[in-house]
Structure 1
């Protein structure tokens, strides 16, 4: 009874609620992918993987608006916040509409490039793109203001609706699988909009001053560049494998990538907490390095456990998650998890310096993202070789990021001496 009373007396912080929510959301997304993999089989799952990868690419592009909104939600005064949110909503909507139109117009070319069964899935996906950008700004406001309960609800709404709608359509109607997946993704964007933070702008509110607008523009450009490197590093391999290999092999590789990326999606939870915390600490004139070490430690431990599990029980993991038809990927599972773990650690450094308005780590990530892509272009004789190229690129990336951090710390000590 005393234990129960103690648990009741302890309050769960909004940050803890958000971390738990992220675990639930990632778990739900994994269930979504795993069920699709089992139902569709490797060949059809390759088509599904293209749409899922497009969704991830979209999330990285829209993350630019989310991070900009989150950072300046901390920095901008309340009197100017309404003008800021109104402006960023308009810009995000315009970019979303433009990108959505491009996807719809070039749906046929995308079908030919990735050898998918239909172009209609790209048309449906393109229609939903503007909604995703609006949703991302909404999430950025919640993230910056540390309204983690509302932020959790938007992610849960998107995940649960996509899972329920897609699986319901597959079970109830005989519709082409890729079309069903596209419809599920589109409708999930609608559910992900709630709760919605309406922009409140009135004539009495002050406009954002030119100096701050310049800061917003510079951070936006820097973040957009970094998110582009995220797209290249995190998603180009699946799209390139779909281009270079047959559908069956591409489906096998998609299952490998899904399992191996568990560590990255867990690390993303810490990235979401890192940015507003670092910005606030810098604003208050406090040391930001301890929070970096804290999250690096968490991710290193989690990555090590996952890589070890993949090395010791690869067949068990693949059989339980996807089924025996995907067992050919068992020997590569720990290697892919290693590449992803290295990237997750490097990613923490990049987001940390992004929060501090330091650009070099972002440029470093861009260089090694292109290196990874170039290595796969020239060395793709087998799926194993594709994975090895990623490990090489990610080892080099982490080493350079660590070297930059050590260099920055030494410069800071000399300056403070």
Structure 2
């Protein structure tokens, strides 16, 4: 009774609510992937994995706009804020339209490169790209203003609609098609726009952004775009390269391995979402920021160790429960992939921390090792085991260098 009374009197903070929401969203996205893996089987799941990977690539690209919006939503106020938001929406829409058109126009070439059964799935996906960029700017406003309730709703709406619509179409129409999956993704972008904060449109003549502010926005945008590109390379190049170099069956097996092993990264992502506005606000107030970094690194390291141990001790159980016996061939590699992802997740916290402080060398370091990882896989891919080992080498070196940079920088 005493415990219940204590829980009732304690209020859940917006940050805690958002963290709970992110856990639910990640759980829902995992459920979506797991169900598709079981329904489709390894060979057909390889096509679905390409679309899911494209979705992740899109999310990283659009994250540039979200992080820029979040940062300057903290720093700007009144007319300067309105001018900034108006401009960022226009640029996001332009980039989204261009990328979407490129995907639609080169759909046939994408089918050949990634050995998929259909080009139409890329066309459907391309039509949704502009919506995703608009959605990301909308989320950036909520993130910067710490409106975590509204931010949670946008993520929940996107996840739930994609899960329900995709599985509903598969079961009602009895279609196990990559086009159905693409339609589900497209419609989920529409739901992800809710609640949408309509920006105050400011004409070019009335923009009140100073040259200094414009330069600061441009600099942060460029370096953030560069860092998100490294995220795309590190997080997704392995799946796309495996799909290119290996048969569909092996690629489907590897996709299941990647989805399980990346649990650590997706949990780390929610801490990044909280880290960025907190560090920027502390810096703005002239307060110490390192304790926040230590706290989040400790959280991620603890979670990473736990998940890697579970993958090492119970690999067959984990794969059987999540994907089924068809994917058991990947059991010996599960803990190794989880280890590589864990090291990347911890390195990522350091990079985003310094990105928040306008220190960009760790971002460049991540870019170098992202290219290194991709290069290692390109040259060493005799087996799926070798692909995983190349990632462990690259991520171990990245983590060591990021930690060394922090130690040297903190001493100064």
User: TM-score, with normalisation over the residues of structure 1?
Assistant: 0.97
Residue 348 of structure 2 corresponds to which residue in structure 1? 347
8 Å contact from structure 1 (residues 97, 130) kept in 2? yes
Match in the other structure for 1:375: 376
**Other structure's SS at 2:393 match:** helix
- RMSD between superposed Cα atoms in Å: 1.1
* Contact persistence 1:82–1:205 (CA under 8 A): no
Q: Does 1:96 align with 2:112?
A: no
Total equivalences in the alignment: 411
CA distance in 1, matches of 2:386, 2:265: 21
Other structure's SS at 1:167 match: helix
- 1:396 paired to 2:397: yes
CA–CA separation in structure 2 for the residues paired with 1:205 and 1:31:
47
Tell me the distance in 1 between the aligned counterparts of 2:290 and 2:206: 36
Moved more, 20-29 or 4-13: 4-13
* C-alpha distance in 1 between matches for 2:207 and 2:331: 59
Structure 2 counterpart of 1:11 = 11
Distance in 1 (CA, whole Å) between partners of 2:397 and 2:84 is 39
Structure-2 residue corresponding to 1:336: 337
Which has the higher mean CA deviation after the structures are superposed, 206-215 or 303-312?
206-215
Q: Given the alignment of the two structures, is residue 284 of structure 1 paired with residue 258 of structure 2, yes or no?
A: no
The residue number in structure 1 matching 2:157 is: 157
List per-residue Cα deviations over 1:278-330 (Å, max 9, x = no partner). Answer: 00000000010000000000000000000000000000000000000000000
1:209-220 aligned within 5 A: 209-220=210-221
**Which residue of 2 is the match for residue 184 of structure 1?**
184
Q: What CA distance in whole angstroms lies between the structure 2 residues aligned with 1:372 and 1:59?
A: 21
* 1:107 corresponds to: 107
Paired residue secondary structure (1:337) = helix
Q: Whole-Å Cα distance in 2 between the matches of residues 371 and 314 of structure 1? A: 28
Q: Are 1:48 and 2:48 an aligned pair?
A: yes
For the residues of structure 2 that align with 1:202 and 1:252, how far apart are their CA atoms?
Answer: 50
Q: Provide the residue aligned with 1:415 in structure 2.
A: none
How do 1:209-288 residues align onto structure 2 when only pairs under 5 Å count? 209-288=210-289
Instruction: Judge conservation of contact 1:306–1:337 (CA < 8 Å) in 2.
Output: yes
Secondary structure of residue in 2 paired with 1:32: helix
Distance 2:183 2:64 in 1: 25
Is 1:208 paired with 2:213?
no
Query: What is the rounded CA distance, in whole Å, between the counterparts of 1:80 and 1:201 in structure 2?
Result: 12
For structure 1, which runs of at least 5 residues remain unmatched after alignment?
Answer: 412-417
Deviation at 1:177, TM superposition (A): 1.5
**Correspondence for 2:133:** 133
Aligned 8 A contact 1:70 1:140 in 2: yes
Larger mean CA deviation between 207-216 and 51-60 belongs to 207-216
Give the SS at the match of 2:194.
coil
1:322 maps to which residue? 323
Q: What SS does the corresponding residue of 1:26 show, helix, strand or coil?
A: helix
Q: Residues 80 and 205 of structure 1 are in contact (CA less than 8 Å); yes or no, is this contact kept in structure 2?
A: no
Give distance in 2, aligned partners of 1:182 and 1:22: 23
- How far 1:268 moved relative to its partner? 0.2
Could you tell me how far 1:77 is from its partner in structure 2? 2.0
**1:64-79 counterparts in 2 under 5 A?**
64-79=64-79
Alignment check: 8 A CA contact 1:79 1:205 kept? no
Distance 1:385 1:186 in 2: 35
> 8 Å contact 1:22–1:152 — kept in the other structure?
yes
State the Cα distance separating 1:82 from its structure 2 match. Answer: 1.1
Question: CA 1:147–1:112 in structure 2 vs 1: closer, same or farther (change >3 Å)?
Answer: same
Aligned partners of 2:334, 2:4: CA distance in 1, in Å? 41
Q: Tell whether the 8 Å contact from 2:40 to 2:176 is kept in structure 1 after alignment.
A: no
Q: Which moved more, 1:81-90 or 1:93-102?
A: 81-90
Which residue of structure 2 aligns with residue 365 of structure 1? 366
Tell me by how many angstroms 1:174 deviates.
Answer: 3.3
- In 2, the alpha carbon distance for the partners of 1:205 and 1:318 equals 57
Deviation (angstroms), 1:176: 4.7
